Structure 1
Amino acid sequence: MNYTKNLSHNQLNAYIAKLINKVYSVLPIYEEDGKTEQLSNKIDGLLRCIDGFLCSYQCDEDLSLDIISYMQELQFADTHEEIRSCVLKVCNLLDKIKVGD
């Protein structure tokens, strides 16, 4: 059963917004503490969460692959510029998969 089919557009958009906020929260953590094990664990958890969501959510396959690709790139990013770039790209792509009313 595809659970996301049972959700309203508002519920889906609210969940996507929550994902965006979680991804965006990577930036201040990196800026404050650098690339720590805690940050790596957070990114790994986000990758699993987003991957699971995209597996059950019907959206453009190219967008899904781009999101996962940038999340995986984020795992290996070491500089502020790389991390910021990946975070902003993922947030932008997640915003694009929101559904209209």
Structure 2
Amino acid sequence: SRVIGQRTLISMWNYAGSAQAFAFFGRLGPVDRRRLLRVLDRMAAHPPAGERSGLKDEAGRELLVWRDEGIEILFWLDQAARELRIVEIDWSTAP
């Protein structure tokens, strides 16, 4: 982050979702949609956030998992594009 005048600007990453992620979002009601967007914004503000999931995608990229507000997001970091590539979103089963 950097300071301009009295404001601190946070360098956020963008996020891009798979068809499954968009379908999950589409099934949510308004309150849960806002909750998911809050979680995604927090995630984008703190890369490389997430824990190793032990999974890889079809291209062999290591997938990370982010759990927040009862939501679990499986993703990989695209460093060159500064994007969080969201592979899957679901309700968290972790405590």
What TM-score do you get using the length of structure 2 for normalisation? 0.33
Greater relative contact order: 1 or 2 (C-alpha under 8 angstroms, separation 6 or more)? 1
Structure with the higher fraction of residues in helix conformation: 1
What TM-score do you get using the length of structure 1 for normalisation? 0.32
